[in-house]
Structure 1
Amino acid sequence: MKRMILAELASWRDKSDRKPLLLTGVRQCGKTYILQKFGREYFDDVAYVNLERNPEIGRVFEQNFDPQRIIDELGNLFLGRPILPGKTLLILDEIQTQPVAISALKYFCEDIPELAVIGAGSLLGVSLRREEASFPVGKVDRLQMYPMNFCEFMWASGYENYQDMLRKHPLEERVPDYVMSKMERLFYEYLVVGGMPEAVAVWVRSKDLAQVADIQDNILFGYENDFAKYAPVSEYTNIRAIWRSVPEQLARENNKFVFSRVKKSARAKDLEQSIGWLVDAGLIHLVNKVENAQIPLSV
C-alpha cells in the first residue's frame, strides 16, 4: 500500500550528510513493509536482518564496534552475500531487542557513512532505559512512522482521484454534495477500521468488520504482551490498568481522563511513571489543556 513516508525515506537517501536512520513506530504500523519496499525501489540490494527473530545475529555486535567486521560477518555468515556500501541498504529490524546494535550505529556513521543503514523498532526509548544502553546522540537521523492516515486510507480504498480533485478545488468554494457524501462515508469507515495496514487491507478486500475486529484485537493483545516483556515489574499492573482505562474514559461525554477511575483514590503522582512508560512506548499521547486560547497559547 502507498505510504507518504516513502518520500521522506527517499529524501534521507539523497542527503549529502546522511547518517544511519532510526525508524520508530508502534508495532504493526507498517515499518518492515515500507523499508523493504524502499530498499527494492531505491537500492541495488537489500540486506534484511530481524534481530528479534534471529537473536544469535545480535552477538555480531557484542564483540566490538568495528562496522567493517560487522557487515562482513552479517553478509558472509548470515546472508550469504556481501553488504556493499553505496549499493546495499542494510535494515536492522526490531533493533530495540539488541540495544548494543543501536550503540553501534555511531561507528557506522563515523567509519562507513556511505553505507545506508536503517534500524527499525518499537518501544525504543523503553528498551534503552531498561538496558541502560548508550544512545548515539548526534550520530543518527530519526524518523517516526504512524499508522495510515485518512489520505493513505483513501489511496488504499481506490479513491486517490478524489484527493486529486479536492487538492485542485478552490478553498473558497463549497465542495459538491455528491463528493462530500462519499468522503464522509469513507471517513466513517476510517474511524471504525483505523490505520493499521493489515486491518485496512482486510477491509478493502472483504468489507467484513468481523475480520477487521479480529485483527484489531490481536494487535491490542500483542501490545499487552509487550507490557509483560518490557515494563518494570513494579509498574506492570498500573500500565495495563491505564491502557484499558483510556478508551473507556475518553468515550465518556466529557472526554476527560480521571486518575481515580483507573484505581480508586489514585492521584496523578501515583500513576505518573506508568503513564510515562506508555508515552515513551508511543501508545498514548498527552495533550495539554489550553487555559487561554490566544497566541501564544498558555497551558
Structure 2
Amino acid sequence: MFKRKFYDEMLEWKNRDQGASALLIEGARRVGKSTIAEAFAKREYDSYLAIDFSEAPQEVLDLFRQYRQDLETFFTYLSAYYEVNLVPRHSVIIFDEVQSFPPAREFIKRLVADGRFDYIETGSLLSIHQNVKDIVIPSEEQSGELNPLDFEEFLWAYGNEQLAYAIRDSFEHMRPLPSALHNKAMRLLREYMLVGGMPQVVEDYIKQRDFGSADRIKRRILNLYRQDVAKYAQGYEAKVMAVFDAIPAQLSRKEKRFRITSIGKNARMRDYRDSFFWLSDARVTNNCYNSTDPNVGLGLNEDEAKVKCYMADTGLLSALTFADRKTTPASLYKDVLFGKLAFNEGMFVENLVAQQLRASGHRLFFYSCGNHEDKYGAMEIDFLITREFENSAMKARISPIEAKSGIRYGTVSLNKFKEKFGKRVGMRFVLAPKPMVVDKAAECITLPLYMAHCL
C-alpha cells in the first residue's frame, strides 16, 4: 500500500476515541478505502474481521437481522463464520461497502455502545435516499474522507520523498527551490496531471511507465462510475450522465462555470441540482460554488446556481477528455507531456489545483461578479480559501487564488478583489508554472503549481 496522509488521521481516531465512535471512510470507488482499512487493521490491531457487504452471503446478512438484541451470539457466530479470534479492545471489525447493506450501518450505534471492539466502515454514496431509507443514521460515526493521491503522495509513491520534503520545506520557509529541482518538480507535476492519483492507476504507471496502460485502467474506472449512475441514480440517471459527460467541455470554457443551458436550451439549474449533488456525494466531482459576499464563513453566501464542476481526479479528467476514441495511445499523452500538442491546458491546471485544495481539507469556492456597473468592474477569482494571515495577528482571512497555466499573466482580478473587500482579504496567491516570488509588501505570493497541496 502507498503511504497515505489519511493513515495518520485513522491513527489519531483510534488513540483519541478508544472505541467511542466508529470511523466512516468515505470516498470514490477505487480510491483505496478497503486497502487502507485492511492495512490499518493489520498493523494496529491484534486481529481483524472484514465484511464486504457488496458480496456478503445471505447467511452473514441474516446475523445482522436475527441477533441485534443478542450481541454475545452475534459475535460468536460472526467469528466462527470468518474463522477470526476477536479480542476485546484489541480487534477491529471492518464494514466494507456499507452502503450496500444499510442495516449494518444502523447497527453501529448498538455495537459502539457495547464497546467490545473498534469499527471501521467504508463506503460511497452514503447520503443518497435509497442508501439511508428506513434507517437511523448513527451519531457515533466519525467521518473521514479519502481522496485520490495528492501530488505529495504521488511523489512518495514514485520514490521521490526527498523532493517532496524539499517542496514542503521551500513553502514553509518561503524560499524558491533551485532551478534544477524546480524543473524536476514541474516535469513530475505534468506526469501527475495526466496520470492522476487513483491508486491502481499510479501503481500501474510506476511499474510500466506506460500512459496507454494507465489510460485503460482509468477508462475502466470511468465505466464503473457510469454503472453506478445507472444503479443508484434511478429516476434521474439521464440528467446525472448529461452533467458528467459535459464536464470537459464546461471546463474548457474561459470562466469554467457550468452553463446548464449547454445541456438543453430549456434546462434549468433547479432541475439538475440533485445531479450535481449525486456526483459530489459519489466523490466523482469536486463542486466549487460561488461565494457572493466572501467572508471567513465562505459557505454563508453560497450561490448553488453558480457552480464549477471539477473531476475529483485530474487523471480521470484526461481520460474523459480523450474519450472520443476507443483507446488513447501513449503517444498522445507524451505529446501533451512535452508540449507538442496544442490543447487547453488551463482546464487541467485549474482542475489539478481544485484537487489539491480539496485533498488539503478545503471546501471549494470561487468569486464571480459580472456587474460592469459595479465601480470595481467585473472580476473572476478561481478559488477562495480561509487562511491565517500574519499581517492580522494570525487571524483568519480570505485568501484569493488564481491558477495560471502560462508564465505570462496579469493580476487585475486579484487587485480588484483586494480593493473591494479590504481587510477581509489576507495573502493573495498566484499558482503558476514558474518559481516562487514573494512580495510581502503587496501581500501577494506567486507559488509554483507543485505547491498547491501546501495551501
TM-score, length of structure 1 as denominator length: 0.92
Aligned equivalents of 2:270 and 2:297: distance in 1? Answer: 28
Q: CA RMSD in A?
A: 1.9
Point out where structure 1 has 5 or more consecutive residues left out of the alignment. Answer: none
- Written as runs of structure 1 = structure 2, the 5 A alignment for 1:235-254 is 235-254=236-255
Deviations 1:240-285 (A, max 9, x none): 1111112221122331211111233201112122222223222223
**Cα distance, 1:34 vs structure 2:** 0.8
- Greater CA radius of gyration, 1 or 2? 2
Partner of 2:290: 289
- Higher deviation after alignment, 206-215 or 43-52: 43-52
Of 51, 73, 76, the residue aligned with 1:72 is 76
1:106-146 deviation line (CA, Å, top 9, x unaligned): 001111x2411111111111265563322012x12111111
Alpha-carbon displacement from aligned partner over 1:15-41 (angstroms, at most 9, x marks no partner): 245311111111000111111111111
| Aligned twin of 1:185 | 187
Paired amino acid for 2:74: I
Are 1:140 and 2:144 an aligned pair? no
Q: Is the 8 A contact 1:43 1:89 kept in 2?
A: yes
Q: Structure 1 pair 64/151, CA: closer, same or farther in 2 (3 Å)?
A: same
CA separation in 2, counterparts of 1:20 and 1:92? 10
Structure 2 residue aligned with 1:271: 272
Number of residue equivalences: 295
Which residue does 2:50 correspond to in 1?
48
**Alignment-derived partner of residue 160 in structure 2:** 159
Structure 2 CA distance, aligned partners of 1:200 and 1:13?
Answer: 28
Moved more, 284-293 or 192-201: 284-293
Residue of structure 1 in register with 2:89 after alignment: 86
In structure 2, C-alpha distance between the alignment counterparts of 1:178 and 1:218, rounded to whole Å: 37
1:90·1:118 contact (CA, 8 Å) conserved in 2? yes
Matched, 1:197 2:199: yes
State yes or no: 1:63 paired with 2:66.
yes
Q: Aligned partners of 1:55 and 1:240: how far apart in 2?
A: 32
Deviation of 1:293 (Å): 5.7
Give the 3 Å change call, closer, same or farther, for CA 295–140 of structure 1 in structure 2: closer
Residue 87 to residue 241, structure 1, CA distance change in 2 (3 Å): same
One-letter amino acid of the counterpart of residue 155, structure 1 = W
CA distance in structure 1 between the partners assigned to 2:295 and 2:49 by the alignment: 51
Aligned counterpart in structure 1 of residue 22 of structure 2, from 14, 20, 23: 20
Pair 1:132–1:239, CA change in 2 (3 A): farther
Residue 32 in 1 paired to residue 34 in 2? yes
Corresponding letter in the other structure for 2:283 = G
- Report SS of the residue matched to 2:183: helix
SS at match of 1:286: strand
Over 3 Å counting, the alpha-carbon distance change for 1:21 and 1:61 in structure 2 is same
Contact 1:20–1:108 (CA<8 Å) still a contact in 2? Answer: no
Q: Share of identical aligned residues, percent?
A: 27
In 1, distance between residues paired with 2:144 and 2:205?
Answer: 28
CA distance in 1 between counterparts of 2:191 and 2:132 reads: 39
Higher helix share: 1
> Counterpart of 1:124 in 2: which secondary structure?
coil
Structure with the higher strand share, 1 or 2: 2
- Does the CA contact (< 8 Å) of 2:125 and 2:278 recur in 1? no
Contact 2:99 2:126 in 1 (8 A): yes
SS at match of 2:288: coil
